[in-house]
Amino acid sequence: MRKFTISIAALASASVFALAAPAMAQDAAPQAAAEEANSDIIVTAQRRQEKVTEVPISITVASQAQLERQQVNNLNDLNRVAPALEIQSAPAQNTGGGGSIRGIGTQSFSPGAVASVGVVVDQVSQGNANISDLFDVSRIEVLKGPQGTLFGLTTSAGVINITTNAPDPTQFSGRVRTELSDQGTAGSKYGQQVIQGVINLPVSTTSALRVSGMANLRQGVNRNATTGDWNDVNRYAVRGRYLWNVTDDLTFNLLGDWSKGSTENGGDFFTFLSNTAANTALLNSCGITTGEGNQNYCLGAANEFSSKFEGWGGSAQLEYDAGPLTLTSITAYRKNETSNTGGNIYRADSLASTLRSGATATNIRLFTQEFRASSPSNSTFEYTVGAFYSNQKTVQQPERFTISVRLPNGIVIRPVDSLGALNEITDESLAVFGQGTLHATDSLRVILGGRYTGGRLSLDRTDAANGSKSFQILNVDRISWRTGLQYDINRSLMAYATASRGFKGGQIAVPTAPLLPYVVQPEVPMSYEAGMKATLFGGAVLDYSLFYSKIKNFQAQECVVNPVTAQLVCAQTNIDGVKTRGAEVNLFGRISDRLSMNTGFIYTKATYPGGFIGNDATNIGGKQLAYSPRYKFTLSGEYEQPLTAGLNGFLAADTIWKSRIRYQNTSRAEETFRAHWTVGGRVGVRSEDERYSAGLFVRNLFNVHEPSLLQSNFGSGVGAIYGPQSFRQVGLQLDAKF
């Protein structure tokens, strides 16, 4: 491990300040204060700029100020922002971002699977070409419930809508932000160095270039007891945006980004929580003590994992004000490449059995084209119509799996040696859509929208062992829609009720040979929502909603017991009767001149249908879905106090409570994690003009070991994948603007 030393004595006290966590609030920059505080928060949830209090959708909005206060540096950190959202970072759990909203996410994984929660960056759908790091972001909107009418087929549970900062032709500016922590300093369980930089360059009075970049270097979380090395995760990214206001009516945006990363010494992967008595003794012999929070494994260099990824993309966006209509064209392309060396999945050379995966690689290419025409806002009938084309191709290289068993006499046998297949998946679709809002009276509005999607999903599979080929096609022809009513009770209170039918594309399952690929049908959620939005405390926003969804053809892995062999057989399939229902409340804004807050609570009852057989052959019908806490509470805030002329102090808190979480489709208690609190915070100073700030921070103060994944029957025991959210981090944050 590379040791990063911070020679600041005050860092040693960083673990103490968060004990004052009840002081809650939100980073309140003067310019951002009006945004954060009230109904002036502008969102694009309906593909046009509107005040958040005027949009008939349940939305959690995180401004740039809030994202920086909560140190949201990647998608996984959004778990701390939105009560309804859960993001998983475990391997093979991150299709299209790995998100679930109100309990609904992707639970069936194959090369052709699509996301339930869509990720959109600067109006461009990311498809399955996942993004990770977040930097120089202006705003993130989490839209809950099916959003297929305006956002397409990968949004059956909701959308994470990300807007980055646009270039500014009026001024030259720049910024540098850092977060520094060191493993073992002030109780920090791992080290991390995050550096973000931005420069804004006016090119002319009507154009500007904005370039931003980041480096995120992390040491720790997992340790190889054989070599003494901790795992390293390194990521780098650059983004460029060019804005040209060609005329008063025509705007051109050119955007491009590049990212690269690697994991060394194993990355974040399984460690043992428990095992049989015999295996526990073998694990102890190589330096592993099983139990919750175990960070150790033992592997020789030849059996160690490493992985790399690289991605890039860009878009060209034109917007023309043609008088009665605003015309928009967005052309985008993205490419992602990932590879890994393979290794011993059990990560324990001392065990008699070994499960080894071989080297593999996955390449994704995505092209999209969107055209939209929008009427002026605040007209009697507001509408947006458009067309969308998408072509995504995924190539997955063959992967070899071997199981080796060392007999008592020292002889090693391989009862399983399986070489996978080359999978080439093409997902092509064309859609037309439209949504309108009729202002029936000054207070009453009627909403109606629809989308037709036609497409084709195909799989070309070549068995690497014998060269045999198989081909499978799924043709798509679906309509999704949304309708509802919206009523202004008074100037500060709006109520709405909507019904919507969404759509999530199908997939082609790829079982182990000799079984052939087969089709898993598209999901169709039917969702109902009613809510209210109110402006309180002279500006704070209260957002309350009730929701109910029932999903036809939910994509999941279902198991049955063979009546002849009495063996459990599991396969990817469609199931009916999955439901999610509940209530959510969010409060955000400035409570006073010095105190700002963002807090939310959600109750989600998301359940399997009656009679559903889990992976452990038990009936889990009526049980809570995997990765869906029934209750979740988030509280974030900041209190600012003037200290001297030109210098303010601040105290912030960032707290989450979750009820018990299930990690697998089973009834096993060892595959759940208990209800728990996660507490963090910051204390520091900033200049009155907010050009400079410095602070100490702590995440996961009480070192609660919430895993990314739990799995029993793992090497005859229980394994966990831990990530940075699983351990305490203490560090220093610095920020400078010019």
3-state SS class at 9: helix
Q: What are 698-708's pLDDT values in tens digits?
A: 999 999 999 99
CB atoms within 10 A of CB 594: 15
CA distance 310 to 547: 39
Q: State yes or no: pLDDT of 25 exceeds 70.
A: no
Distances (CA, A) of 507 to 258, 456, 474, 643: 29, 10, 8, 59
CB atoms within 10 A of CB 631: 16
What percent of the chain is modeled with pLDDT above 70?
A: 90
Q: Which residue has the tokens 């249908």?
A: 609
Which structure tokens are listed for 73? 């540096």
Given this model, what pLDDT does residue 92 score?
47
Given this model, what pLDDT does residue 630 score?
98
Which structure tokens are listed for 577? 């009767």
CB atoms within 10 A of CB 416: 11
Q: What are 472-513's pLDDT values in tens digits?
A: 999 989 999 999 999 999 999 999 999 999 988 888 888 766
Which has the closest alpha carbon to 125: 394, 425, 311, 333? Answer: 333
Whole-number mean pLDDT of the chain? 87
Sort 563 into a burial class: Cβ within 10 Å, 0-12 / 13-18 / 19+.
Answer: exposed
Q: Residue 721: beta bridge partners?
A: 270, 709
Distances (CA, A) of 489 to 44, 485, 486, 494: 23, 13, 10, 6
E strands, 608-630, are none
Which structure tokens are listed for 3? 């040791």
Contact 307, 276 (CB under 8 A): no
What is the Cα Rg of the chain in Å? Answer: 26
CA distance 78 to 600: 13
Which has the closest alpha carbon to 134: 270, 237, 275? Answer: 237
Give me the domains of the chain, ranges plus CATH numbers: 36-354+371-737 (2.40.170.20)
H or E element that contains 482: strand 469-490
What percent of the chain is modeled with pLDDT above 90?
A: 58
Q: What are 295-306's pLDDT values in tens digits?
A: 999 988 778 888
Given this model, what pLDDT does residue 566 score?
55
Most confident of 218-222, 297-301, 515-519, 729-733: 729-733
Q: What are 605-624's pLDDT values in tens digits?
A: 999 999 888 888 889 999 99
At residue 618, what is the residue type? Answer: T
